[in-house]
């Protein structure tokens, strides 16, 4: 199974510099795993008349995972562990695999564990 995992950081505080730093830290942690690649999500062209860059893309990573479902589980577990160490109360993280998305916010550890287990219970249809 090869899969692409999209990880988006959503910071309610809107501090782009702090969010960039968080993305960098998460990227380095993910690179320590046995994954094929971890790269920023390519920015889409800005709509006509708008200014700036696509902030959602700037705070997102694509993780290329080769191998088993267990490799995807390790990526999701690493993101969850990284998120639980984060001190930013306005931060949430979205993990998307195929057509399924898991959003981690400031829920209790038990609530997060249930969400992660439900999300990982079966792989997305296009990842098999």
User: Tell me: the pLDDT tens digits for 64-76?
Assistant: 998 778 888 899 9
User: Tell me: the pLDDT tens digits for 39-50?
Assistant: 998 766 656 666
What's the average model confidence in pLDDT over 11-15? Answer: 70
Q: What pLDDT score does 123 carry?
A: 59
What's the average model confidence in pLDDT over 9-28? Answer: 84
Compute the Cα dihedral for 81, 126, 41, 105 and give only its sign. Answer: negative
What's the average model confidence in pLDDT over 25-32? Answer: 94
Which secondary-structure segment (H or E) carries 110? helix 109-120
What's the average model confidence in pLDDT over 3-21? Answer: 83
Q: Are 23 and 59 in contact (CB under 8 A)?
A: yes
Instruction: Provide the pLDDT confidence category of residue 89 given band limits of 50, 70 and 90.
Output: confident
CA distance 73 to 96: 12
Residues 6+ apart with CB under 8 A from 127: 1, 2, 3, 69, 72, 97, 98
Q: Are 5 and 95 in contact (CB under 8 A)?
A: yes
CA distance 53 to 47: 10
Q: Has residue 36 got a pLDDT over 60?
A: yes
CA distance 17 to 82: 18
Mean pLDDT for the chain overall:
80
Q: Has residue 78 got a pLDDT over 60?
A: yes
What's the average model confidence in pLDDT over 109-117? Answer: 76
Q: Between the CA of residue 20 and those of 17, 26, 97, 103, 119, what are the distances in Å?
A: 5, 10, 22, 19, 27
């Amino acid at each position: 199974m090869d899969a692409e995992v999209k990880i988006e950081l959503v910071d309610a505080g809107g501090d782009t510099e702090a969010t960039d730093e968080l993305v960098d830290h998460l990227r380095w942690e993910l690179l320590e795993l046995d994954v094929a690649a971890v790269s920023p999500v390519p920015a889409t062209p800005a709509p006509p008349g708008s200014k700036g860059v696509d902030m959602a893309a700037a705070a997102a990573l694509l993780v290329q995972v080769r191998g088993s479902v267990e490799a995807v589980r390790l990526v999701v577990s690493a993101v969850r562990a990284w998120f639980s160490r984060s001190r930013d109360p306005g931060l949430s993280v979205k993990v998307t695999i195929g057509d399924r998305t898991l959003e981690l916010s400031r829920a209790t550890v038990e609530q997060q564990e249930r969400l992660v287990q439900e999300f990982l219970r079966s792989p997305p249809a296009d990842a098999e």
